[in-house]
Structure 1
Amino acid sequence: MKRISLTQHLIEEQRLNNTIPASLRLLIEVVSRACKTISHAVGKGALGEVLGSAGSENVQGEVQKKLDIICNDYLLQANEWGGHLAAMASEEMETIHPIPNRYPMGEYLLLFDPLDGSSNIDVNVSIGTIFSVLKAPEGMTTPTEIDFLQAGTRQVAAGYAIYGPQTMLVLTTGNGVQAFTLDREMGSWVMTTNNAQIPEETKEFAINASNARHWHPPVKRYIDELLAGSTGPRGKDFNMRWVASMVADVHRILTRGGVFMYPADAREPDKPGKLRLMYEANPMAFLVEQAGGAATDGRGRIMDIQPEKLHQRVPVFLGSRSEVERVTSYHRQD
């Protein structure tokens, strides 16, 4: 089988569709190299003294793990000097990180969750890095947070790396979804899936069932139907899977179908959800839609949401189109 590298794919994609200019290709390659470095750190685990809490909190008030901070630094340092970016934003930082004046300023903005699934770091379960690329607004001279507040439809690239038994990079630039596996001996990303497609129908769902008592009625209605199985209104049995790492749960859905849900609930009415629109929901929605699935906040398309804040939260329902449309319809009826 012919081995196609990440670089070869990006160059051929530009030749075919004219969607990946050289600066974007180089940016994606720099991010992918940072993900290789993160994979190495994750793989060492306790041997690298990177496990455990850092004793600090991020801007969301969540306790940071040592690896959260390490991976955030890896991504900042790798992407500062290349000349492709104007600024970066991270789930782990309160505000944006402009490119230092000593480096040339590029035309793109990079957002990332440096290590998704932090609760799984110390128990050796799959975790990952999520990223999203936007074009800097025309005429921008000094980047501000406002420049990042673009709807998900404006993304020019998005993807994630998953650090599991294999390290994989899953990417879209708007022409389908490709997956690359890290050849650890050669140090290169090799395409192992081209044009990933999410099955429209599924018998799997992912949700944190421990929150059931807090769910709003549309979510309760939908989950009750799934749990009723073959004797219920759906007429078939469903399996539940929950890794508590969005990257791992979405990767399973991209591989074999399913529906992932992280709804808002009654515990904190002023919080519309837990997942971040800019760092998690938008890039994952872009990938899922490019793979034939759907992604909503329960009422409308996630990628149509106009962001109001850098760390804005949203409910998330994504995956196999028929199931996402069903649970979304229940919210609209409520």
Structure 2
Amino acid sequence: MTACFLTPQVYARKGADAAQDVLQPGENQVAAAYSLYSSATMMVISVGSGTHGFTLVPAIGEFILTHPNISVPSRGQMYSLNDARQHDWPAGLRNYITKIQRGEGQSGKQYSARYICSLVADFHRTLLYGGWAGNPRSHLRLVYEANPLSYLCEQAGGRGSDGVSRILSIPVTKLHQRLPFFAGSPEDISELESHGDVQQVGTKKYDV
């Protein structure tokens, strides 16, 4: 079993208005983190100078720096996406996935799907081994899911995108604003964006 917790992003205060403090673009973040509990308990954090992983050592009750300066590979060979929804994918996303599965993408390598259906767990593996994790539907919340993960990804040399543009540059207009999300190796994200029509907008909504 894997349990994951995402810590909302941290901003510098702008004034007495709490909404003004929260509804800032992701590029204004000063810190973000998530924790992961499975065979080991980890906390991955950035305060603006790289992304670093700490592992809990139960014998001493302390978190030890085990993954300093995590660096996302420029390209991976895995993607994390719910393939069961491919019948509703837009043409650009379907074409891109088919190409990388066949080894016909820019890297010339065949990609494999690795999908846990836990956003932080899928993202954590991507952070360490490359490739990308995402959801083409407007499902993730920009403020407290997409922005903090994109911040951690960029601090590790990766990219976060909604399939069209950089997530951290997207204006925040409301607390529960939703959008598609793709994050991981910079070359993989750029290749995905280049296909266009990768956002699953206006199609069937699923009960979750």
Match of 1:241 among 103, 108, 114: 114
Structure 2 counterpart of 1:282: 147
- Whether 1:173 and 2:47 are equivalent positions in the alignment is yes
Match of 2:182 among 293, 314, 317: 317
- Whether 1:293 and 2:170 are equivalent positions in the alignment is no
How far apart, in 2, do the equivalents of 1:233 and 1:179 lie?
31
Shift of residue 146, structure 1, vs aligned partner: 4.0
Structure 1 counterpart of 2:100: 226
Count of residues in correspondence between the two structures: 197
Q: Secondary structure at the match of 1:227?
A: helix
Structure 2 counterpart of 1:137: 14
- Whether 1:155 and 2:32 are equivalent positions in the alignment is no
Shift of residue 165, structure 1, vs aligned partner: 0.5
Shift of residue 332, structure 1, vs aligned partner: 7.0
Structure 1 counterpart of 2:76: 202
How far apart, in 2, do the equivalents of 1:146 and 1:222 lie?
39
Q: Secondary structure at the match of 1:243?
A: coil
> What amino acid is aligned across from residue 255 of structure 1 in structure 2?
L
> What amino acid is aligned across from residue 193 of structure 1 in structure 2?
H
How far apart, in 1, do the equivalents of 2:92 and 2:188 lie?
13
Identify unmatched segments of 5+ residues in structure 2.
200-208
- Whether 1:251 and 2:128 are equivalent positions in the alignment is no
Q: Secondary structure at the match of 2:195?
A: helix
Q: Identical aligned pairs, as a percentage?
A: 36
Structure 2 counterpart of 1:72: none
Q: Secondary structure at the match of 1:331?
A: coil
- Whether 1:182 and 2:56 are equivalent positions in the alignment is yes
* 2:91 and 2:198 in contact (8 A); partners too: no
Structure 2 counterpart of 1:329: 194
Structure 1, residues 36-87: CA drift from partner, whole Å, max 9, x if none? xxxxxxxxxxxxxxxxxxxxxxxxxxxxxxxxxxxxxxxxxxxxxxxxxxxx
Distance change in 2, residues 1:193/1:164 (3 Å): same
Structure with greater strand percent = 2
Shift of residue 147, structure 1, vs aligned partner: 3.1
> What amino acid is aligned across from residue 154 of structure 1 in structure 2?
N
Q: Secondary structure at the match of 1:327?
A: helix
* 2:4 and 2:37 in contact (8 A); partners too: yes
Normalization by structure 1: what TM-score?
Answer: 0.57
Structure 2 counterpart of 1:303: 168
Normalization by structure 2: what TM-score?
Answer: 0.90
Q: Report matched runs for 1:63-102 at 5 Å.
A: none
Structure 1 counterpart of 2:203: none
Structure 2 counterpart of 1:128: 4
The ranges of structure 1 where at least 4 consecutive aligned residues each deviate by more than 6 angstroms after the TM superposition are: none
> What amino acid is aligned across from residue 14 of structure 2 in structure 1?
P
What value does the CA root-mean-square deviation take over the aligned residues?
1.7
Identify unmatched segments of 5+ residues in structure 1.
1-123, 265-272
Structure 2 counterpart of 1:20: none
> What amino acid is aligned across from residue 3 of structure 2 in structure 1?
I
Shift of residue 233, structure 1, vs aligned partner: 4.8
Shift of residue 333, structure 1, vs aligned partner: 10
Distance change in 2, residues 1:233/1:285 (3 Å): closer
Shift of residue 148, structure 1, vs aligned partner: 1.0
